[in-house]
Chain A
């Protein structure tokens, strides 16, 4: 595992670039812990100051220091992406492995649920969800909701791998060695699925951050927790671009784009490197 990572860093440009980009973003988000201001206080600094030594990213029309505010926002956004990814990976993993391993009726039942989730339109559902929940809307709730919507495609992928693992003889050897179903899934099959899990994690984080930003910009989320999307939402509310306060939009967008590219590079390079075909043979 660590060796793979080291080799990747050393030999794979894309991977290294991705790590550097994400490293910068992550380091920046950690700065939020040292912020002199709580994120939701406004008018703590003079409004509408362009980037300068005192305020490296300028200040907003609401009198917030964008540098510190952005560190909170990116932290929340990253956290959001990770929570969604972890929850939806867990769902995809359990459902994919169980469906593939059990086969028959269980498989058919799980996969028909799965297919329903693949075809339902995400965006309207999320908007609807917002209107239903309205006052109770929070970031955690949205993450949960998106996790519930984001597992289906990958579960199918994992299931198809599990399906072929089930027919391999070593699964039978496991059964006749007295291993429990859980043990077989976790110890025998999981290693084959991990590469898929890793690369889909990156894609999933990207997807959920993208969706969250879109929803926030349109105001369909909890606008009191600063995330990148919420920041952009407020900037639009104050017609920042028209007023010439470009930095209010520029820095959030820059950070999101860096995150996207970083994750994308990681996903691509991992996909190449951990191609199961080169690992699953007799080696």
Chain B
């Protein structure tokens, strides 16, 4: 195989609706994508709510198994990862960032715990100073430092800071791939800009590939190299981000682009009669 970092081949995931409803839901329906090992990139997935983006991300993270199709990471089929050692080795290279920074850490526990656990278990360090160094280096690459974070609880930090800690934690094991599922949807525009800049910076400086799931087409346009648009479990359009967003071909992509609300009260698209046309 020529250097594919991630090769998702025609994966399908169905959920049986439980005991009562016999209906099966096909959350992901034959999606393929491929990331190149030699060329780190930001690959964005946008799409309808409920179109299977989170399900796809969870399959790539090996949290759930595909019903059909294969996912290979670095040439290894994820289905063959069974032993806990193999799982650790995999998690070392692929790390998640979650949507809600306030939920990403246990509110009753100190934040540094997660950093140190990652250093010990994932980066394989055993010496406490080495672990602290690794944590500090990771925090510095997101514009924080261990001195600021040590001993603090999640509620003592702002959402943006927490999200950076979450990213720093993911970076400690020096992963090749980050899966970020709506990492900025809970934070305000100003912090959003800094997180998005950070992701871009990680790609350029640390050569980390990033799968970035979002509903925010503006940031997607701004940072991504390639984009995939999903609907009903299928990829309806994929390609170079700028090309696709500048000139979407599929009707759903066009609808998506049209539906972006403009931050301009003079061009309201949500029906509004009277009231606020400017004087």
Contacts and interface: CB of A to CB of B under 8 A. Distances in A.
Given A169-B100, A172-B63, A177 B109 contact: no
Contact of A177 (B98, B102, B117, B155): B117
A168 B102 CA distance: 11
Contacts of A187: 109
B91 interface: yes
A178 B120 contact: yes
B106 A170 contact: yes
Interface in B45-71: 61, 63
Contacts of A36: none
A173 interface: yes
B260 to A, nearest CB: 27
A247 B32 CA distance: 84
A222 B107 CA distance: 49
A282 B121 CA distance: 27
Contacts of A170: 103-107
B154 A282 contact: yes
Interface in B82-111: 88, 91, 95-96, 98-100, 102-109
Given A169-B98, A169-B99, A282-B154, A177 B107 contact: no
Q: What's the interface size class on A, roughly?
A: 20 to 34
B107 A282 contact: yes
Interface residues of B, number: 28
B110 to A, nearest CB: 11
Interface string A247-283: 0000000000000000000000000000000011111
B91 A188 contact: no
Contacts, number: 63
Contacts of A46: none
Of B61, B102, B103, most buried by chain A (CB within 10 Å of CB) is B103
Interface in A166-213: 168-170, 172-179, 183, 187-188, 191-192
B253 interface: no
A168 B91 contact: no
A172 B61 CA distance: 11
Contacts of A178: 88, 91, 117-118, 120-122
Contacts of B121: 177-179
B106 A172 contact: no
B155 A282 contact: yes
Given A178-B121, A179-B121, A173 B107 contact: no
B87 to A, nearest CB: 9
B169 A177 contact: yes
Given A280-B107, A282-B155, 6 more contacts: A169-B98, A170-B104, A176-B61, A177-B117, A177-B118, A178-B122
Interface of B: 61, 63, 88, 91, 95-96, 98-100, 102-109, 114, 117-118, 120-122, 154-155, 166, 169-170
